[in-house]
A and B are shown apart, each in its own frame.
Chain A
Amino acid sequence: MSPAAALTSKRHTVGGDLADAIEFCHAQGWTDGLPVVPPTADRVTAMLEAARLDPAEEIAYIAHRAVSITAEKVAINAVMAGCKPEYMPVVIAGIEGIADPLWSYHGPGTSTAGAAVLMVVNGPIARELDVNQGDNLFGPGWRANLTIGRAVRLVMRNVCGSRPGTLDRGTLGHPGKLSYVIAENEAESPWPPLHVERGFRRDQSAVTVMGAEAPHQFYNQLSNTAEGVLTTLCDDMRISGNVMGQPQYVLVLAGEHMRTIARDGWSKADVRRFVFEHTRNSHAHLKQTHRMAGAVLPGDETRLRPLVESPDDILVVAAGGQAGAFSAYIPGWGSKRSSQAVTKEVKR
């Protein structure tokens, strides 16, 4: 049997040219609003072959949705997203991540709080595929960044049923729900990369997924110390995200700030500890600003609630342009209790 003949998805014959096929995909409700590459059998087969996957292989089972995600469906959606075949193993790792019980699909896949799937790609594959880790980190310009995340989101839409307006009920959503993929600047970072901190070897490739709000950029163009830069960060970050829910956070430290912090000899663990200590809020402030229920009680001014459960819930990533004294923090969706960041190896 030819590889294309092994594909079992329903086939649609569309008259006309390529533009008509793109319009057909829009009309079926298969797209995120942007044009897609029509998923022909040869393109889908190339995607599967690049990851050495059998079309019927189950990549993940989403228990909350009772949905089995097969390699064939991932490949079709990856073609539509505009992925090159060699991106497929990264897409697969992302799908494995969001299907992990710790990520807990039903919350971030449906919630009014509008979670996107932040994906951090680490290891050699990030360089091989030119996943951007530098200038315009979250912005346009890199095919791998924009299509890998788009493929994961199209799987969520088309296979898992997370369609905006029906199962995906994001009140606001955000642009990261189109694609939200970054790599880490492993070549210049003074620190162990994220995937190494999370149990992988430096020569392995891995994807970390986190249900996430939009990135919040902060400025510090004044200080030349780690403590100065991070003090500004903490002041920006202290009231952010679901402040009472204690979600996880990603910190993205870009070139100038990365070098300033590293020059002072601070490790990622030092950054985590400092940020944990300096983002706590008093119960009095949380009550006065109507985040915590109840009247302000004696002692509430000095009773502190951490923004995250533990310093380890702050994931530190070195990435972003070399110039510019800006970095970013990204609140995770909801709460750590409801969804956690998950790291999966990219298998090749």
Chain B
Amino acid sequence: MIEILDPTCEPGPQAIAYAPRPAALRGKRIGLVENTKFNSDRLLEKVGDILKVEYGAAETRLWRKRNASVPAHEEIIEELRQTCDVMVAGIGD
């Protein structure tokens, strides 16, 4: 009989709050956050065009993270909060 200790992270429960989802995208301002990889900007702009043409979104605006390995920096989050209703983040490779 051997007693051993657990090597893994044992996180406590974390509450994650999701922002309320809009019922429709008509007239909404769309923020796009690209991660700097090849073509991620083109992919997201394409998504933005679809949201405007097919779903009636009012406008899109694109932000660029500092690099692919980090979360969007504070300025992006703050501007998004001020100027957008919905955001789409994407990866390109």
Contact = CB atoms under 8 A, between A and B. Distances in A.
Interface of A: 7, 9-18, 20-21, 24-25, 30, 38-41, 44, 64, 66-67, 72-73, 76-77, 80, 104, 106-108, 111-112, 154, 158-161, 293, 334-335, 337-339
B7 A158 contact: yes
Contact of A338 (B2, B68, B71): B68
Contacts of A112: 93
Contacts of A14: 1-4
Given A14-B2, A15-B1, A18-B2, A335 B67 contact: yes
Contacts of B3: 11-14, 40-41
A107 B8 CA distance: 21
B6 interface: yes
Contacts of A160: 9
A7 B4 CA distance: 11
A21 B11 CA distance: 24
B89 to A, nearest CB: 14
B69 A39 contact: no
Most chain A CB atoms below 10 A, which of B4, B6, B8, B9: B4
Contacts, number: 91
* Interface of chain B, main secondary structure: loop
Given A9-B10, A73-B9, A159-B9, A39 B4 contact: yes
A293 B1 CA distance: 62
Given A64-B70, A106-B69, A338-B68, A73 B4 contact: no
Contacts of B9: 67, 73, 158-161
A61 to B, nearest CB: 12
Interface in B4-61: 4-11, 14, 38
B4 A25 contact: yes
Nearest to A107: B69
Given A14-B1, A15-B1, A9 B70 contact: no
17 contacts: A13-B1, A14-B1, A14-B2, A14-B3, A17-B2, A20-B2, A39-B7, A73-B9, A76-B5, A76-B6, A76-B7, A107-B67, A111-B69, A158-B7, A158-B9, A338-B67, A338-B68
